Amino acid sequence: MDSASKYLSMDRPERSNHLWRYTPWRRVHPTGKVTEIPELASATLGLSMMDGSEIPSGIRLVRGEGGNLDLSMDNALTNSFLHAISSSSNWLLTVENGFRIESPIILDVQIGEVASVAHISLEIGEMADLELVTRVSGESDWFGLLRTGNIGRGSIFNDVLVGIQDNGTFLRSDAIEIGNDAQVRAGTVSSGSERTKSDLRYKLAERGGSIKVLGSILSAESMHLDHHIEIHHTAPETFSRLSWHSACGGESRTIGTGMLHVSKGSKGADAGQIFHNLLLSDSAEADSIPELEVMENDVVGCGHGTANGPIDEEQMFYLKTRGFDEKEAKRALIAAFLNSTLSDMGGENLHEWLVGELTLQLEALRS
């Protein structure tokens, strides 16, 4: 069955469905008519080096290629829909075995001014070591991004997505499988879109795989940013941490839902998740739901938690006594809050670049 037929044969999700409780499917569908599979423009992709150097051999971006990775833990509804509408916008990013580079690589995704889509397949070779920033920008009123892929044995891969769209709706779905002894940091830096529905799923499929999933989310005005993260431990001695920070201003709303699933036989698994929300106005709202499903008794530890709160008035007072005005002090505290996850997304050069992006977003903040 092809993706279009699969999507059309599925029942539409109801609000009682955990994944769609806060953001109904029809609200993130490009037309709102959920039985339609519209034809959309293709996003434009390009690779560059953060330090301005030439793209080295060993990494390659090709249009018109890419597989349909079918993971048992993926979101069939969204993935089949994105597969169907991205048939003419497939991209394959391959990294050769043993590829290593210090400077971060930037994958620019330009979405233009009309509704568009892209499917990016990641094939990261064994023993590779790199940092990749996927930067999504443009003025489209709707953009859909499907990312599927495999992270090879023994690789060290920092994978950060930065969303800086000017407006519109952003529908994102990730399904990534992590190999033996691979170490992955998956970061999301989100702001700009009016509505985001993001479904990120990672599978620790082989012994010794590890992942840190990190979020630095900034919302303002009437934004509605909904992120769902699942980490599936299906092999022994796997490790995961989910740390998600959201700063919410204006009349915006952020949602963070996390699911850590430890399958039977995943002995020695170590999993944990925490959500922190900073409320910048009386009208802002933040919802966090951490969940665990542990089917194996022999685990190192599995835990979760969540915390909400406003800006600390004592910290504000301290900064004002040091010469900050109200707005500067508030920005400094927001930056410090979001930087706690931002700083763990990569090395020094990547962190400096991400701080620069966050600073630009904070300067435009109206909470």
> pLDDT value at position 67?
56
> pLDDT value at position 70?
57
Contacts of 58 (CB under 8 A, 6+ apart): 95, 96, 99, 101
Main-chain dihedrals φ then ψ at residue 117, nearest 5 degrees: -155, 160
- The mean pLDDT of 207-221, rounded to a whole number, is 95
**Vertex 351: Cα angle to 350 and 356 (nearest 5):** 100
Q: With cut-offs at 50, 70 and 90, classify the pLDDT of residue 309.
A: confident
**Vertex 85: Cα angle to 81 and 90 (nearest 5):** 110
> pLDDT value at position 226?
96
Share of the chain above pLDDT 90, in %: 68
* Euclidean distance between CA atoms 106 and 179, whole angstroms: 23
- The mean pLDDT of 191-207, rounded to a whole number, is 92
- How confident is the model over 345-363, as pLDDT tens digits? 999 999 999 998 888 887 7
Domains contained in the chain, number: 1
* Euclidean distance between CA atoms 345 and 76, whole angstroms: 28
- Domain extent at residue 91: 3-363
Is 188's pLDDT higher than 60?
A: yes
> pLDDT value at position 123?
96
- The mean pLDDT of 221-233, rounded to a whole number, is 95
Per the CB < 8 A criterion, the answer to whether 238 and 207 are in contact is yes
Where is pLDDT greater, at 322 or 96?
96
- How confident is the model over 84-126, as pLDDT tens digits? 898 889 999 999 999 999 999 999 999 988 999 999 999 999 9
Is 259's pLDDT higher than 70?
A: yes
Share of the chain above pLDDT 70, in %: 96
Mean pLDDT of the chain: 90
Tell if the pTM clears 0.85, that is, is over it.
yes
Cβ atoms within 10 Å, residue 30? 21
Is 14's pLDDT higher than 70?
A: yes
Q: With cut-offs at 50, 70 and 90, classify the pLDDT of residue 342.
A: very high
- The mean pLDDT of 154-160, rounded to a whole number, is 98
- The mean pLDDT of 288-296, rounded to a whole number, is 88
Is 304's pLDDT higher than 90?
A: no
pLDDT-wise least confident of 41-50, 178-187, 289-298: 289-298
Q: With cut-offs at 50, 70 and 90, classify the pLDDT of residue 238.
A: very high
> pLDDT value at position 17?
80
Is 65's pLDDT higher than 80?
A: no
Per the CB < 8 A criterion, the answer to whether 180 and 207 are in contact is yes
- The mean pLDDT of 165-182, rounded to a whole number, is 93
Is 69's pLDDT higher than 60?
A: no
Structure tokens at 189: 């830096």
Identify which of 151, 57, 46, 187 has the alpha carbon closest to the alpha carbon of residue 106: 46
The beta strands (E) that lie in the chain are given as 41-42, 44-49, 59-63, 90-95, 105-110, 116-124, 129-137, 142-151, 156-163, 169-178, 183-190, 195-204, 210-219, 224-233, 239-248, 253-262, 270-279, 285-294, 301-310
Is 72's pLDDT higher than 60?
A: no
Q: With cut-offs at 50, 70 and 90, classify the pLDDT of residue 74.
A: low
